[in-house]
Copies of this chain bind each other. A is one copy, B any other.
Amino acid sequence: MLLTCGCAKGCMLASSSSVLRRQHFLVRSLCLGGGGNRKGLNDIRSMACDSEAENVLRAIAPPLDQRKVAIVGGCREYTGAPYFAAISALKIGADLSHVFCTKDAAPVIKSYSPELIVHPVLEESYNIKDEEKERISGKVLAEIDKWLERFDCLVVGPGLGRDPFLLGCVGQIMSHARQRNVPIVVDGDGLFLITDNPDLVSGYQLAVLTPNINEYKRLVKKVLNCEVNDQDAHQELQLLAKQIGGVTIMRKGKSDLISDGDIVKSVSQYGSPRRCGGQGDILSGSVAVFVSWAHQHSSGAGVDSTSQMNPTVMGCMAGSILLRKAALLAFASKRRSTLTSDIIELLGRSLEEISPAC
């Protein structure tokens, strides 16, 4: 179980700066001895109580607070996914939502909404010569490094594609974000990247992986070297998260299962039977905001029970319950024709119903 820092309210206010938040994380890590004191806890404290997820959301959502998130994704083929993630983050309460994508994708993503800040910095192999790769890779990193410190969370993967050169650059971006203790949510093709290179996130407790069924299968195969066992889903997820050094994994499905290698939580509220593509992107953008709020909440020495929980797990629970509620409302109104944009339009109302703004 995570210890809190014990600092008082004044500290919570101060900690709205990214630097202080990260210092809190470091202090917690030190208190935990790198998470080592979790290892003795073999019992799975799991529950499928969605009122708990709503309580978590209420606890971590601050009155109204500045958050900046960034999405790393968007290539020649995929532009919708990073947009969905970025706009969802804004609709939940982020003040600024950046997208780092390829040059081809940028004008299109910009055209979806003037609310986003879109950086055309990534490059795909087809666009560059072999001898230019090292120089361009350095340039891409330098460009993103200028911004990294300002973000409260990074989402890596929506619409990223699988170009080897691009994925190589993104791996380096993840390493730089990690050096700066910026929380990272990894989804979509970002999961393809880290399944091949688990070291990119291994041991990084500010990382969240949000695999769907197929992505989870590949991850289990790679890390646990076995097939998915649905009979022991909780234990398997717990083991997987532990094996990757205490990252938080949200296994998406009929119920979303969340584990950091210690506790296992489940969010099962009924959402929508419609499986329109893009819902995973809403989730990754939402989790980014909630994870960053949860870290602030935890560093604020709250006295409620939620402050004992790993903030990364809390962020996942809040993201999950909110998406389910918005999807339920959207389906009630749009039925078979429900699209991802319809769900995004209802994020605000859903959030207000669970946790009204002061």
Contacts and interface: CB of A to CB of B under 8 A. Distances in A.
Interface residues of A, number: 54
B340 A277 contact: no
A37 B92 CA distance: 52
A334 B277 CA distance: 25
Number of copies of this chain that the complex holds: 2
Interface in A260-303: 273-278
A146 to B, nearest CB: 11
Given A107-B107, A110-B108, A120-B76, A115 B339 contact: yes
B356 A335 contact: yes
Contacts of A92: 336-337
Interface stretch (A194-202, A221-229, A304-312, A346-354): A346-354
Contacts of A104: 107
Nearest to A352: B335
A275 B64 contact: yes
A351 B336 contact: yes
Given A64-B273, A96-B277, A273-B357, A84 B336 contact: no
For A95, A114, A352, which residue has the most chain B Cβ atoms within 10 angstroms? A114
A84 B114 contact: yes
Given A80-B116, A80-B117, A277-B95, A335 B348 contact: yes
A41 B65 CA distance: 41
A11 to B, nearest CB: 21
Interface string A100-128: 00001001101111111111100000000
A92 B339 CA distance: 10
A120 B340 CA distance: 23
A79 interface: yes
A327 to B, nearest CB: 12
Nearest to A115: B339
A84 B110 CA distance: 13
Interface in A320-358: 331, 334-341, 347-349, 351-352, 356-358
A40 interface: no
A151 interface: no
A116 to B, nearest CB: 7
A90 B340 CA distance: 10
A319 to B, nearest CB: 14
A112 B114 CA distance: 7
Nearest to A272: B64
> Which 3 pairs of residues, A with B, have the shortest CB-CB distance?
A337-B348, A80-B114, A111-B111
Given A78-B117, A90-B337, 12 more contacts: A64-B273, A64-B274, A64-B336, A95-B274, A95-B275, A95-B277, A107-B108, A115-B277, A115-B341, A273-B357, A336-B351, A337-B348
